[in-house]
Structures are given as C-alpha cells and as structure tokens.
Structure 1
Amino acid sequence: MNSSQSIRALFQPFAIGNVSLANRIVMAPMTRQFSPDGVPGSDVAAYYRRRAENGVGLIVTEGTVINHPDSSNQMNVPHFYGETALQGWENIVDTVHAAGGRIVPQIWHMGARGNVNDYSQSEITEIVEAFAQAASDARRLGFDGIELHGAHGYLIDQFFWEKTNSRTDHYGGDMIARTRFATEVIEACRRAVGPEFPIVLRFSQWKSSSYTAKLAETPAQLERFLAPLVDAGVDVFHCSTRRFWEPEFEGSDLNLAGWTKKLTGKPTITVGSVGLDGDFMSLFTEGKGAENAKIDGLIERLEREEFDLVAVGRALLVDPTWANKIREGRTDELIPFTSEAVKTLY
C-alpha cells in the first residue's frame, strides 16, 4: 500500500463536467459550528486552505444553511445568505483557489421542527427558491459547484423517507412521489446555475435516528428512487454510508456508491470511515476514537471503478496533511482520530 504503484488510482485526475480535479480525494462535509452568528471568518478560510494546499482534490464545505427561518437551530453553523456571511464565503473560495484547490459548498436545510407533513405549498415554494438562490450565489462567488444535503434525516431526506413523510398530496405517497421535493430543488438550482455548473447530491439510507433505515431495500427500488433525481439534473451522487466497505444489498459486494454508479451511470463519491477502523458515531456514542487503517481495499475498489471519488472525513479533520502523507507513503506519521485530537478541529 505504501508504494506509489498501489495508490496511483487515488491520485489520478478526474473531471466533473468542466471542473478538473487533481485527484480522487474529497474532503467530506463536517459540521464544526465555528462561524459565530453564521459568519465564516478568516479562521475558517485557513482551515480549508490547509487541506487544499496539502493535496485534497475537492473540498465539500461543512453544511451551510439556506435563507429560511427553520433552516438551522444552531447559531454558529455558517449561513449561505446575507452580505456578511457571503463575503466570508467569497474569501474562503479565493483562499482555497489560491492554494490550488477546488471547493463546493454543502447547501443545507436541517429540517422541519415538527414534520414535513405540516409544510404548506407556499412554504415549500419558498424553500425551493431559497435553495436556488444559494446555488446562484455559489456560482457568483466563484465556487466550483454545489452539494445539496439530502442525507441523514435532514429536510430533503425527511421528504424521501416514508417514516417521516406521510403526506397525501403530490409530495408524498409512493417512492417516486417522495422524491418530488428534491427534484424541484434540483431543477430550481439547475435553472439558477445553468447546464455546466456541477450539482452534487448527498443521500443516505441511514438516518441519525435509525442506522438501519432503508430508502430502498433492493437494487430495483434504488434504481426507481434515483431515476427522477438524475432526470432533475444531478451530476454526481455522494453516497453516505457509515462504513464504506459494507455491501449495500445481499448477493453483491458493491457498496451504496457502487450500486448508484451501476444503476445511474453517474459519477459517485464513496464515504464512511475511510482510513479509520471505526465509524464516526462511535466517538459520540461510546467515547471511542479510531485508529488509522490501511486503505488497500479502498484502492482495489477504486481501481475496479466501483466509484470515482473518495470522501475522507475524520482522518482529514485531525490531519490536514493526510492526503500528502498517503501519496508519499508516510503512513507511520498519520495522526489517529481521538477525542483529544477532535477538540482542536483545526
């Protein structure tokens, strides 16, 4: 694994439309709450710069919320609206680009305070328009694309999941109907940014309230779920799992990113405990960190083109130089993910 031959696949360039990435390493979005009153400052810019200048091919920012009253319940999560916050993001874009990196914001609505069944059509329309405005601002500020957060039980995912969406109008019902809110968001964003600006959608089967949840129980169901999202304009699917090495369905070794690529033909990003030996929730549920783990299996899957890009979260959180250390074979210098290391969040 330490030889340049064995990691070559991870450091091949990749293009998403007109956006060229130097390698296949993506910094996964990680909420940090380091933006007082929603405004990301110079410290946030420095945080992303360190990853860009140390070999990360694409940075997906922490979740940044749209202009809607219920979009956030945490005051230090960054906003993606308002002059001051957007100026902060513009500085971050310029800083990352100056370091040779690529960056997309993760556009987020945390979800209904009650449930999605209570939203009126007028409020849904307002939220869709807020997503589109954020997408438009992202392009204006110079970002390299956007990621829509449709995973983990947040708003878009609340519409996806039958356990949280029991609406009887055209936003609820069967699996296809439950994708309507997301498709309206994607279509509105596409209109706002034009045909060439990359749109990434992050989705998951699991929810923060239910690790065993499934939007799709079979590959056929997953294909039905994904088709409207492709038609709406998704360029890349970011397929969130807790452990990338776990098969998604019985009878195949393919993970969620592998199945998504196979069924849609679209590029996919895999994620889930990359470079570590435990899933990310163990720190919070059990107080456990994670040791560094070999990535031979990951490389083998990438070489087979099971997926196209690899998102790294905690390993990059504690070690900004993770990508360069992997590329140079300096794995003995990798910093383990521990509770003490997490406190720095640098």
Structure 2
Amino acid sequence: MSTTILSPMPLHPGSLQIEEAVARVAVSRRLSRIFGIAAAAVAIASVLLVFSLYGYLSWQFTHPPVDALNMNPMSAKNLPYTEIAFPASDGGRMTNGWWIPASAASARTVVLSHGFGANREESWVPMYDIADMLHKQAYNVLMFDYGYADSKHRTAATFGIGESKQLIGALEYARAMGSRELVVWGFSMGAGTALQAALHTSLIDGMILDSTFVTDADTIAYNLKKVGTLPAHLTMNLLSLFTPIWSGVRLDQIPSQEVQSTAYSFPLLLIHGTKDDKAPYELSERIASAQTNADSSLWLVKDAIHEMVFRTHPEEYIRRTTAFLQTVDTDAAARQTAATELTQAA
C-alpha cells in the first residue's frame, strides 16, 4: 500500500496582496465609522452645550437675581408711608408698593420706576434720597416693585411689555388718590418701561429718564462687547428662541423703535452718562431728537457711568431735576386753567 502525502497548494503572491488590501479596507471602514460616530457625538454635544448656555442666559435674562427689601421710607429717611397694592392696568397681577404722602395735602405725585435687577429701593441710585427730596418739595411719592422684583409673587421679566401695564396701574392708583399732576421718574430699563407705558396712557404730565435702557438688538450687542466671546447675531437669535419659553413674550414684541422715534406730548428730561457701559448714550440722543415739546431736554454727563449721575454730580442733578419739575408744574397749571376756562365758557 502506498501513502500519498498531500502538499498545500502554493499561494500565488497576488492573493496575499488582495487579502491585505481587503483587510486594510475593512480597518479603514471601521475607523471611518468610529471617527464618524465620534464627530457626530462631538457635534451633538457642542449643540447641546450651546443650547444649554443660551437657555441658562435667557433664564437669567428673564429671572434676574434681586435682593430683598432692606429698609423702608421710615427707617431710611423718616418718611411716613403706607403699604399699598394695586392691579396692573389690564387687570392682571397685583403690584406691591409704598405710598409716601406729601407733608401737606398735594395733588402732585412722582412715580419712581426702578431698573432691571433691582427693586424699588435701588440703593445705588440712590432712590431713598430722591424720595426724600421730592417729599420736601411737596410731592407725593409712589415706589413699587415690578413683578420680577416682587419677593412674594415673583414673575418673569418681560422688558417693559408687562411692566408698562404695572406702571400704568401705579399711575391710576395715584390718580385715584387725588393726583392731578403725574410725573414718572425712571431709571435704566425702568426708564425704557416708562416710554412704553406712555404709548398707552394719557395720565403722564412729564418724565425724567435716567440712563434709559431699551431692550433691542443694538443694546444686547452693546452689552456683549464686554464679554467679547459671544457672537451678537447668534446670541440675539437664540435669546429670541428661548425668551418666550421663560417669559411668554417675544423680543420682537418690544416697541424699541417706536419709543425712540415718538414725539411725546409732554416734556422729557433725559439724563445719560457718556461712559455708560450698559445703555449707549446715543439711545437717549435719538429719543431727544424725536421730541417736539419745547420743554424737553437732554443732559449728557461727561464720563458718567450707568445710573451714577446723581452720586457723581449731586448738586447739578438736583438743580436740573428740580427746575424740570417746576416747568412741569407750570405747564400742568396752564392746562388746568385753560380747561377750566373752556368749561366755564361752555
């Protein structure tokens, strides 16, 4: 019997090259899939990070941290006052505040409109000093908290859309208290809110607007310059996306162009520092240029920063605001006299 030994067939050198090429292609495909999955994961993570960042920013934008009230008119300036509450002009939320009556019966009232991220005290202005000054000039003073500053029933900030209705509610309360002359004294976004309110009421006889801030693409971009890393266009688009979720209002609902171009029937005293890093002074210049009332004026304060004009120029601040209030008095008295004569003639 013979035994046959089978020897393996010799491989052609080309077949080894084909197998190696196939293996390399398979490895390459696996690496491509891995890199593709990794790239997709990074892209998704980046998108989630961006959305989380702007979601948080928009939440802060609509829910600013506000300190609790530290004092009251009596403890701060020995001013008698009454705790009050009044509805917004649309019958909405109740707004809490203080009514500080003049020392003698008076039909003149100044409503103080505080800024964003502050309550009715707004200590850096300083608000109690202004209330005391007005009290000494025989004005009633109404101080109140906008919804985003109300420690008991806090609501989202709406950049003047809802707040203007609360301000009109304050004016209606003052009118119900017998006030025939009403002046709004606003600060920062409280000044921008006053301009919005004035589009919807005839109760205002004059306004003092300090460091006016109006929320729009320009002021947001202006503030982003301090950060330097957030793209303005993307920021505006994403804030516009998230803001309605947190506050129920859209940024394009804010009548920013209208308040800057309206010629109000009553006089305005605009005050703005040239080094304001939150609201560009050009904003007040645009508002001032739209006015036709002869008693309106703009006081640009060289090198002053946001809401710090009273602290840095107290004597001139008091002199200018007092003179403006006297002008409003004169104008209001003239209108009342003309109305009385017209009634008698009829």
TM range (shorter): 0.3 to 0.5
Which structure is larger by alpha-carbon Rg, 1 or 2? 2
Name the one with the larger helix percent: 2
TM-score by length of 1: 0.33
More RCO (CA 8 Å, sep 6+): 1
